[in-house]
Structure 1
Amino acid sequence: MVMKWDVFLEQVQERGEYPTRQEADRAARVVLALLGAHLVGSVRAELAARLPETCALVLLNPLPAAEPLGPDRFVRATAAWIEGATEQTAKWDVSAVLSVVADAADEELMGRVLLQLPPGYDLLFGHPQTNG
């Protein structure tokens, strides 16, 4: 069963320790838009299918990435999109959102998601790769 948007946001808010749901919503939308720009084809579609409709729409209609961003640049890009964010707070935002995304996906799908991303994203999703 697909997670509901308010449940998704509640989990992001809890993991990110955001004082308001609005802050969790903003982080979720920015991180999902950036993530969607890095995923293609069936992997992006399958991941979107496991997320609430609001998440799926953001994930499936991203701004195309000019180049794949490594994890550090992904965090910096997130910081640039969130008003008042620093690299430290953006890393927190990214991890809060991506760990909830990882929970919505199964291990096999997460493996395929990570194959489409530059090395190092496993830590942002909270799924360190033991074999890599």
Structure 2
Amino acid sequence: MAMHWDVFLDQIQERGEYETRAEADRAARTVLGLLGAHLVGEVRAELAARLPETFALILLNPLQAAEPLSAERFVRATAAWIDGATEQTAAWDVGAVLSVTADAAGDELVRRVLLQLPPGYDLLFGRPQSGASFAVSAD
């Protein structure tokens, strides 16, 4: 069952410590648009089914990625799409959105989502796998 729009955005706003719901909405649209370009088939459809309709449509009609982005490059791409964002703020945005998305999806679906993504995304989803490491460089 899909998470309700208000609940989804409220949780992102809380985790991301955004002052307004509009900031949470912007982060969610950007991150899910980029994520959708990395997922295919049944996994993408199942994940969309667990999200509020607005965000499900964004996931299903993604911003196109020419190639699968590493977790670090995914954060950089997010920064590029959000006005005034830095890699550090984008990492915060990605973590807030993907951890709430993971909660909506459940562990079994998140595991299948992670199988379609390059290594390192487990940390972005707030679901670290053993031995994984990812850090945003401060350069």
Aligned to 1:99: 99
Alpha-carbon deviations, 1:82-126, whole Å to 9, x = none? Answer: 000000000000000000000011211111100000000000000
Q: CA deviation at 1:131?
A: 7.1
Alpha-carbon deviations, 1:35-77, whole Å to 9, x = none? Answer: 0000000000000001110110000001232100001100000
* Counterpart code for 1:76: R
Runs of 4+ in 1 over 6 A off after TM superposition: none
**Superposition TM-score, scaled by structure 2 size:** 0.92
* Counterpart code for 1:92: W
Aligned to 1:61: 61
CA distance in 1 between counterparts of 2:63 and 2:88 reads 24
Q: Which has the higher helix share?
A: 1
Q: Structure 2, unaligned stretches of length 5 or more?
A: 133-139
CA 1:128–1:24: 2 relative to 1, 3 Å: same
CA distance in 1 between counterparts of 2:113 and 2:89 reads 24
Task: Report 1:34-73 matches (<5 A).
Answer: 34-73=34-73
CA distance in 1 between counterparts of 2:24 and 2:17 reads 9
Aligned to 1:19: 19
* Counterpart code for 1:60: L
Aligned to 1:78: 78
**Does 2:28 align with 1:28?**
yes
Q: Structure 1, unaligned stretches of length 5 or more?
A: none
Q: CA RMSD in A?
A: 1.1
Q: Between Structure 1 and Structure 2, how many residues are aligned?
A: 132
CA distance in 1 between counterparts of 2:54 and 2:113 reads 20
